[in-house]
């Protein structure tokens, strides 16, 4: 009975890892460690995006222009940039997988 429970748990875990692999790296490595590392990277990326996108709403209303300029420079130093909201509509309507998934044979 214990062996049967362990087998069921192993199968469920395998199914979940496989589903996670399809989300974070559909054309990449399929071993568990690589899939989990990709998922961790993707979660960190999403967390940073939430912080960047929500930061204007989390600041007090009286933030000075100097502070905003410093924030923009800080974004640049982290490899990020500011874009007009109108340019982000396609990203907001997409599921995001296309931006995270590696290109197939160098084509996108």
The 10s digit of each residue's pLDDT in 42-52 is 899 999 999 88
CA distance 51 to 48: 5
Q: If you average pLDDT over residues 11-35, what whole number do you get?
A: 89
Q: Could you tell me what percent of the chain has a pLDDT over 70?
A: 56
* Whole-Å CA distances, 10 to 15, 23, 84: 9, 20, 47
pTM: 0.47
């Amino acid at each position: 009975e214990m062996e049967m429970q362990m087998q069921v748990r192993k199968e469920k875990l395998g199914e979940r890892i496989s589903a996670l692999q399809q989300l974070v790296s559909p054309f990449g490595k399929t071993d568990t460690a690589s899939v989990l590392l990709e998922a961790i990277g993707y979660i960190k990326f999403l967390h940073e995006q939430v912080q960047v996108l929500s930061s204007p709403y989390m600041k007090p209303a009286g933030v000075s222009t100097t502070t905003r300029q410093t924030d923009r420079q800080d974004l640049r130093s982290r490899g990020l940039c500011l874009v007009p909201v109108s340019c982000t509509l396609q990203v907001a309507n997409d599921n995001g997988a296309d931006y995270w998934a590696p290109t197939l044979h160098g084509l996108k």
